[in-house]
């Protein structure tokens, strides 16, 4: 049977009779081919490669290597033509929500990204770079250093991947603003109220002085990479107009104040010839700003829940929907996926990118089918609307308790549909993971990853941006779980987890991190089993974890400590120690609730 390369190419035909595996390819530069494109032919007469550019040659030879690895390579001739749907295909890894990867882990990510034909890598940072003048911000975080960035930039370049700085410069600055020497830069130095809770200051006051402060941060980080691209973040400035900028926002409008500040951050980089991305969540809600986007600036539309999942929440119209509306979410817009924002920017003639999510965060096991639909929607809409780039995001909300391997499947799928949607939308993801990523000849590990990624769907009412598993473990983070899932759903989830644990006994991943993946998955199953039992105990009383039966609470507490010890051990297999204690502390709320129940 002929081999199937990954990603699936745009066209592939086979004929009887193949090439000698040792045959040297005849390589021809063909400028008539689309950018990054190639045509690969193999036959008894030999191998020919026509390529548009260096990237096309790289992808052609990678495809040829996959074909030659197949035992039947001599028996089949191949004629393949291929080129990407999106010129820029980027992957963002959040390293600011406590988990900073080791160099070995970064190399693993680069191998995966090269396989999936990403050509841009963004490490999202807030406080996790070792800024020269802000040691107090990063000293406990095991941050990336200048040397780390130079090393990583070289590794990326060798694989045809551009390392792009992604440093937030407006919202999400709480790690800076928590320190006395920087608090004065905050919109609300004393913090703010959101969703019924008091939160620490996180947004810079939109002043020229803070734009200069942001420029200094960006200058230091970009000085260690060769790219002339940059992502300045600027998303979710939740406090804008609620503190020091209140009067100005009332006078000029929130959109104007927002984009005046963003423009101050953008301008010196655009003047220096950079292409600069910024998140479009505020921008797209103010259509009056569309004609103010300067050349070289690129808004990035982000959306992390698939249209059908958002529609389910709207149709359910319960506590989940009301919680998100209370946080300011436009659920009707979420139900449209990327289309409404893309249409607005296309009609305004503003170049933009689309950014779906890997669905790994707030989940423990992932939300795989949500991620697949979300990524497909982004690719479809981006192509229809002329988006100039596709950015897959892997965030780390609430301490990044999910293992890196939970995002491997979404990364593979996202890269494939960003390369060629029609050829890859029906990708057999489990098979690709086992054959190309995990090297599991038993065909087990990839299948288990995919099955675990669907567990969240079995647990009751539909949720946005998370799973019932994560909300059971971190009940104080984000919207409250509407209600414990029904007993039948909990039983079904428990059986799924038990089956996955049993099946992993037959897994045989030969990838260098194969044993790490197995350990991560077994631990993730253990965490999910614990969460299911917490939900079961809560369902018996109809309240929170502080209302469950004392004997049950004591039994759960005895199980919790070994789970936390294993969480620490698995973390240190791939990640630096800084941030680990902060991440582990996020489960203290649940622990205290269980202790209160146990002592009743």
Could you report the per-residue pLDDT of 415-448, keeping only the tens digit for each? 999 999 999 999 999 999 999 999 999 999 999 9
Work out the pLDDT band at 483, boundaries 50, 70, 90.
confident
How many residues would you count in the chain?
Answer: 600
What residues make up the domain containing 32? 11-82
pTM above 0.85, yes or no: yes
Together in a domain, 410 and 543 = no
Q: How far is CA 557 from CA 92, 520, 550, 598, in A?
A: 36, 21, 11, 9
Average predicted confidence (pLDDT) for the chain: 96
Q: Please give the average per-residue pLDDT across 212-223, as a whole number.
A: 98
Q: Among residues 82, 104, 120, which one ends one of the domains?
A: 82
Q: Please give the average per-residue pLDDT across 497-502, as a whole number.
A: 98
User: 390 near 86, Cβ under 8 Å?
Assistant: yes
Work out the pLDDT band at 506, boundaries 50, 70, 90.
very high
**Exposure b/e, 472-490, CB count within 10 A at least 16 = b:** bbbbebbbebbbbbeeebb
Together in a domain, 118 and 228 = yes
- Say if 191 falls within a structural domain: yes
Residue-wise pLDDT tens digits, 129-175: 999 999 999 999 999 999 999 999 999 999 999 999 999 999 999 99
Is the model's pLDDT at 5 over the cut of 90?
Answer: yes
- Say if 1 falls within a structural domain: no
Q: Please give the average per-residue pLDDT across 380-387, as a whole number.
A: 98
The confidence score (pLDDT) of residue 478 equals: 80
Which one-letter DSSP state was computed for residue 162?
E
The confidence score (pLDDT) of residue 102 equals: 98
The confidence score (pLDDT) of residue 195 equals: 81
The confidence score (pLDDT) of residue 600 equals: 85
Q: Among residues 66, 82, 98, which one ends one of the domains?
A: 82
DSSP letter string, 489-517 = HHHHHHHHHHHHHHHHTT--B-STTHHHH
157-160: Cβ within 8 A, 24+ apart: 157/226, 159/110, 159/113, 159/114, 160/54, 160/55, 160/58, 160/114, 160/119
- Say if 489 falls within a structural domain: yes
Together in a domain, 227 and 121 = yes
Together in a domain, 457 and 591 = yes
The confidence score (pLDDT) of residue 318 equals: 87
The confidence score (pLDDT) of residue 492 equals: 97
Q: Among residues 392, 427, 462, which one ends one of the domains?
A: 427
The confidence score (pLDDT) of residue 484 equals: 87
Report strand pairing: 120-125 vs 162-167. Answer: parallel
Which one-letter DSSP state was computed for residue 348?
H
> Phi, psi at residue 203, to the nearest 5°?
-115, 135
**Exposure b/e, 150-183, CB count within 10 A at least 16 = b:** eebbebbeebbbbbbbbbbbbbbbbbbbbeeebe
The proportion of the chain whose per-residue pLDDT surpasses 70, expressed as a percent, equals 100
The confidence score (pLDDT) of residue 81 equals: 98
Residue-wise pLDDT tens digits, 47-105: 999 999 999 999 999 999 999 999 999 999 999 999 999 999 999 999 999 999 999 99
Name the domain count of the chain. 3
The confidence score (pLDDT) of residue 482 equals: 85
């Amino acid at each position: 049977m002929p081999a199937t390369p990954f990603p699936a190419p745009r066209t592939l035909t086979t004929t009887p009779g193949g090439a000698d595996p040792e045959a040297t390819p005849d390589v021809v530069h063909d400028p008539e081919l689309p950018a990054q494109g190639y045509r690969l032919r193999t036959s008894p007469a030999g191998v020919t490669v026509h390529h548009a550019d260096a990237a096309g040659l790289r992808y052609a030879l990678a495809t040829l290597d996959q074909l030659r690895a197949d035992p039947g390579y001599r028996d089949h001739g191949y004629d393949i033509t291929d080129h990407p749907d999106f010129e820029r295909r980027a992957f963002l890894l959040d390293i600011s929500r406590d988990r900073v990867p080791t160099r070995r882990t970064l190399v693993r990510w680069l191998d995966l990204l090269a396989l999936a034909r990403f050509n841009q890598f963004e490490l999202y940072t807030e406080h996790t770079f070792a800024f020269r003048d802000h040691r107090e911000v990063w000293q406990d975080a095991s941050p990336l250093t200048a040397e780390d960035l130079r090393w990583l930039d070289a590794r990326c370049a060798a694989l045809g991947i551009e390392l792009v700085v992604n440093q937030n410069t407006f919202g999400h600055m709480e790690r800076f603003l928590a320190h006395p020497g920087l608090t004065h830069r905050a919109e609300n130095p004393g913090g703010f109220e959101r969703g019924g809770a008091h939160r620490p200051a996180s947004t810079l006051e939109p002043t020229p002085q803070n734009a200069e402060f942001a420029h200094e941060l960006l200058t230091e980080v970009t000085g260690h990479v060769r790219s002339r691209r940059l992502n300045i973040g600027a998303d979710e400035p939740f406090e804008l107009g609620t503190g020091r900028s209140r009067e100005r926002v009332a006078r000029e409008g929130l959109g104007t104040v927002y984009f005046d500040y963003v423009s101050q951050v953008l301008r010196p980089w655009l003047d220096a010839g950079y292409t600069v991305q910024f998140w479009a969540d505020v921008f797209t809600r103010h259509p009056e700003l569309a004609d103010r986007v300067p050349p070289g600036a690129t808004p990035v539309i982000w959306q992390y829940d698939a249209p059908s999942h958002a529609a389910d929440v709207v149709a359910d119209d319960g506590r989940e929907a009301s919680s998100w509306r209370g946080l300011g979410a436009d659920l009707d817009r979420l139900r449209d996926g990327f289309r409404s924002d893309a249409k607005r920017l296309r009609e305004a003639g503003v170049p933009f990118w689309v950014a779906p999510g890997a669905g790994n965060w707030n989940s423990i096991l992932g939300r795989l089918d949500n991620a697949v639909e979300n990524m497909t929607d982004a690719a479809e809409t981006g192509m229809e609307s002329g988006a100039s780039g596709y950015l897959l995001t892997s965030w780390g909300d609430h301490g990044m308790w999910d293992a890196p391997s939970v995002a491997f499947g979404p990364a593979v799928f996202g890269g494939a549909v960003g390369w060629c949607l029609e050829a890859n939308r029906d990708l057999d993801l489990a098979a690709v993971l086992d054959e190309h990523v995990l090297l599991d000849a038993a065909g087990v590990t990839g299948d288990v990853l995919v099955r675990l990624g669907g567990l969240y769907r079995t647990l009751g009412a539909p949720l946005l941006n998370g799973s019932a598993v994560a909300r059971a473990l971190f009940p104080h983070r984000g919207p409250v779980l509407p209600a414990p899932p029904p007993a039948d759903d909990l039983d079904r989830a428990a059986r799924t987890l038990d089956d996955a644990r049993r099946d992993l006994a037959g897994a045989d991943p030969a990838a260098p991190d194969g044993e790490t993946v197995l350990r991560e998955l077994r631990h993730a199953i253990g965490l999910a089993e614990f969460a299911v039992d917490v939900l079961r105990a809560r369902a018996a009383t109809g309240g929170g974890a502080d209302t469950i039966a004392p004997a049950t609470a004591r039994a759960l507490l005895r199980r919790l400590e070994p789970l936390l010890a294993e969480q620490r051990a698995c973390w240190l297999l791939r990640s630096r120690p800084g941030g680990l204690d902060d991440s582990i502390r996020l489960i203290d709320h649940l622990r205290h609730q269980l202790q209160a129940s146990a002592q009743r």
